[in-house]
Amino acid sequence: MDYKNVLTTCPYCGCGCGIYQSSIDGQLQRPIPDQTHPLSEGRLCIKGWSAHEHVASPDRLTTPLIRRGENLEEASWDEALSLVSSRLMELRKQHGPDSLAFLSSAKCTNEENYLLMKFARAVIGTNNIDHCARL
């Protein structure tokens, strides 16, 4: 009988509502809004109530895809990341750091957003960093 309720934060926006995500034998069940969360106090919006649905969705991407001509082809993470890093460095060398821009997400954690900012400014050397909430 492997039933767990794991306390987590809704990943859908920057509000950070509290959810107990329940699972049975590793399969996600319904989310239970955390009544004791200081911010959301047991309430969720439609996004929080359905935040778990993409996990087992048949439409979910499970590997990186690389565009080759007209097609998107499945690739390994190593292959995809190597391509991204080599193209980024190529473009930076050819057109300068400000030819690149980085778009982070309200759905990421503070730490992930900080890391992307650091990467843009310290590694690439551009201030072109923004996030999806301003789109």
Partner 1 sequence: MGIQEDQIREVQEIAGRLLLDKQVAAVVGLFSNHGHVGPHLFSSVDDLPGLALEPRYPLALDCRTLLSNFPKDRLGVVVRGCDERALIEMAKLQQVDMERLVFIGVACSDDQARQCACEKPYPRQIDVGEKVDGLSPLDDKKVQELIEQDMDARLVFWQQEFSRCIKCYGCRNACPVCICDECLLEETCWVEGGQIPPHTSFHLIRTFHIADKCVGCGACEAACPMEIPLTILNKLMREKLKELFHYEPGMEVSQRSPLITTLEEAPIRGL
- CB-based contact 65:71 (threshold 8 Å): no
Binding partner 1 (rule: CB under 8 A), the pick from 11, 13, 16, 32 is: 32
Task: State which of residues 34, 52, 124, 129 lies at the interface with partner 1 (CB under 8 A).
Answer: 34
Q: Cβ closer to partner 1: 52 or 129?
A: 52
What's the rounded Cα separation, in Å, for the pair 31 and 107? 17
Q: Does 55 bind partner 1 (CB under 8 A)?
A: no
Q: Where are the alpha helices (DSSP H) in 50-104?
A: 77-95
Go through 97-111 and write b for each residue having 16 or more CB atoms within 10 A of its CB, e for each that does not: beebebebeebbeee
Q: Give yes or no for residue 63 binding partner 1 (CB under 8 A).
A: no
Cα 106 from Cα 4, distance rounded (Å): 27
- Does residue 29 interact with partner 1 by CB under 8 A? yes
Query: Which DSSP state fits 7?
Result: E
30 sits near partner 1 (criterion: CB under 8 A): yes
**Is there binding between residue 20 and partner 1 (CB under 8 A)?**
yes
Q: Which of 11, 16, 33, 97 binds partner 1 (CB under 8 A)?
A: 33
Chain residues that interact with partner 1, rule: CB under 8 A: 1, 3-5, 7, 18, 20, 22, 24-25, 29-30, 32-37, 42-46, 48-49
